[in-house]
Chain A
Amino acid sequence: MSEMTPSMKNDSTKNDAQLAAIVLTCLSLAVGPGLLLVNRPVFFLGIPIVYAWAIFWYLVLCGVAIAARRKTFSSDQKSTDTPE
């Protein structure tokens, strides 16, 4: 396995920081103050809206995870291709 160079390490830390910021923002909207937008006993397509809200944010977080995985995968590919 190829070792990471210092610039790759910085990139990896930067990627992790960006990902953490995105995830924290999503969480703040999903279960933080953003929740006040939907906290009522009403229904969306027959589902309680709070439940539908949780499903929506689950799908958003899945999207973020897949995008992050693709980005990490391409970084890993670069680090494998870079000569020592």
Chain B
Amino acid sequence: MIPAALQTTSGVIPIIVIGGYLFLLLFLGWLGHRVSTGSEEDYYLAGRRQNWLISSLTIIATFLSSFALLGAPGMVYREGVVFALVSLNVPIAGFCIGMLGPRIWKLGRDGHYVTQADMICDHYKSRISLRLLVTLVGVLFVVPYVIMQIKAGGDLAAVLFPDSDSSFEIGAIILASITAIYIMVGGMRSVAWTDAIQCVLLIAGMILAAIAMVAALGGPTQFLQKVQTLPKSSLTVPGNTGQWQIPFLFSVCLLMPIGGIIQPAQWMRFYAASGPQALRRSSLIFIVLLTACFLFTIMPVGLGGQILYPLEISETGVSPHPEVGTYDQILIFIARHKMPELFGASLGEFIATMLVVAIMAASMSTADSNLHALSALLTRDIYSQFVRPKASESEKLWAGRFFIIAATSLSLGVVLVGQREASSLADFLQMIVGLALFAVAFSVQLLPITIDILYVRKGTKWGAVIGLAVGLLTAFCFTSLFPSLLAVIPELGLTTFLTDSVHDLKTLIPIHASAWGLIPNIVLFVIVSCIESAFRKES
């Protein structure tokens, strides 16, 4: 039976389109299973034979996430044109693919590596300490990213079905379940195929949203004239909230893309490519196409949002227009409320449906890649190493599938609990941009090790272990979760001192948490490696 809310807001066609899209994903999951050879390498790396087109599309889709169609328009809506500068992080990610990707691919092929930890632990000859730390980095990156995507599914449903009390929960559960099913069935091959389709859909969605927005505001000339009437803070740095000071902006543009590229799921895509040429082509497509998508599609959508639904800016702060709800919902809010009004019922409904499918594609493409990578991390780096070293390939594949269910359930649980207003997680889960920045703060800490393995080759095991451990801890202290965590710990002198110190440092030097973590990480990595090398030479 069709829910009443959907009948009144969108009609039957959207149900058919969304249902067809979800069915296609499940079909690709089944097809991937049919083609697979059943080996672990095939399940996690699609036999290392991904061509340049699939490689490009799956790398882009994994990078984009719900941030692209919910978080980014939400950020432009909140902050204004400063986001155009934040978009320059995308070419940096592209350059990282072109420089690091072919080297990672070559080492992966020679060493038959599947996960990040395989390469790092083999290089530094560390079986336990480094493997556990690298796996922890992977988990700290992947879980917030999966949470972010599931939350996006809930947000989408909440706007589509405002009359239902549990629409958020149902949307989050459906997105999480279908994603988990096709990963478990088809492995990397299905993930890459679905990513390719999702990538095309979400780029088409971005273009469609921008065209619709500019047309809705009377064409390019009228649109630009209306942009000129926006508040001064929307047209300059540091944006409406004042968060994007130049040091913060620079550290985010430099480190966020690096963290987004040396994360577990992308690393496995480098292994899975058919060769270095595929990755170099992917790099170029990534730089040219993806940055253009952000600059020329997401920017008009967010700025148009500000024109249609002006922000409430006062001395106490900035808040979205009362009708919009939250910043991240601006695009779906416009799709649902403005498109049918501006373009008529049929065309408006079509545009709104395509945008919904594009947002779902963006969320699912990142959730599937990250869940798949998490399954590889937990199976190869923990289960096969420490729990059941003699497990058969079949047993390991089943363990991997179990981890996908467990990680999906855990992330879904966090999203559902965090949705309650009384929850201490509510503030942390408030904006998708915040979650993305939280996740990369940890993956960036692998940068010194990555550069050492691929270029310098002078670091040592304890340099890597100590640098990484201290880097992770420091980065965590500067994330938005740290104050929430301290709030649940009984009041002690030390906690107050820590909170105050972190706050003072953040005010003094406004850089991102990842940069704070990298400073002690690099220093300790170099110092400890030099000392260890000197001791080795003496002995």
Q: How many residues of A contact B (CB 8 A)?
A: 37
Nearest-CB residue, chain B, relative to A47: B224
Q: Contact at A27–B88, with CB atoms within 8 Å?
A: yes
In the assembled complex, A8 has its CB within 8 A of some CB on chain B: no
A46 to chain B: which residues have CB within 8 Å?
221, 224-225, 228
In the assembled complex, B215 has its CB within 8 A of some CB on chain A: no
Q: Contact at A55–B295, with CB atoms within 8 Å?
A: yes
B287 to chain A: which residues have CB within 8 Å?
61-62, 65
Q: Contact at B99–A31, with CB atoms within 8 Å?
A: no
A39 to chain B: which residues have CB within 8 Å?
236-237
B99 to chain A: which residues have CB within 8 Å?
16, 19-20
Q: Contact at A62–B275, with CB atoms within 8 Å?
A: no
A32 to chain B: which residues have CB within 8 Å?
246, 250
List residues of A (4-61) whose CB comes within 8 Å of B's CBs. Answer: 13, 16, 19-20, 23-24, 27-28, 30-33, 35-36, 39-41, 43, 46-48, 50-51, 53-55, 57-58, 61
In the assembled complex, B181 has its CB within 8 A of some CB on chain A: no
Bound CA–CA A39/B92 (angstroms)? 22
Q: How far is the CB of A77 from chain B (nearest CB, A)?
A: 11
Bound CA–CA A46/B469 (angstroms)? 49
Nearest-CB residue, chain B, relative to A40: B236
A interface footprint on B294-329 (CB within 8 Å = 1, 0 otherwise): 010001000000000000000000000000000000
B284 to chain A: which residues have CB within 8 Å?
65-66, 69
Q: Contact at B91–A61, with CB atoms within 8 Å?
A: yes
Bound CA–CA A55/B300 (angstroms)? 13
B85 to chain A: which residues have CB within 8 Å?
30-31, 35, 50, 53-54
In the assembled complex, B447 has its CB within 8 A of some CB on chain A: no
In the assembled complex, B487 has its CB within 8 A of some CB on chain A: no
Nearest-CB residue, chain B, relative to A57: B88
**What is B's interface to A at a CB cutoff of 8 Å?**
81-82, 84-85, 87-88, 91-92, 94-95, 98-99, 221, 224-225, 227-228, 232, 235-237, 246, 249-250, 253-254, 275, 277, 280, 283-284, 287-288, 291-292, 295, 299, 455
Not counting A27-B92, A31-B249, A58-B91, a sample of 10 additional A-B residue pairs whose C-beta atoms are within 8 angstroms of each other reads A27-B254, A30-B88, A32-B246, A53-B84, A54-B81, A61-B91, A62-B291, A65-B95, A69-B98, A69-B284
**What are 22 A-B pairs at a CB distance below 8 A?**
A24-B254, A31-B246, A31-B249, A35-B237, A41-B232, A41-B235, A47-B224, A47-B227, A48-B235, A50-B84, A50-B236, A51-B81, A53-B85, A54-B81, A54-B85, A58-B88, A58-B91, A62-B287, A65-B91, A65-B284, A66-B284, A72-B280
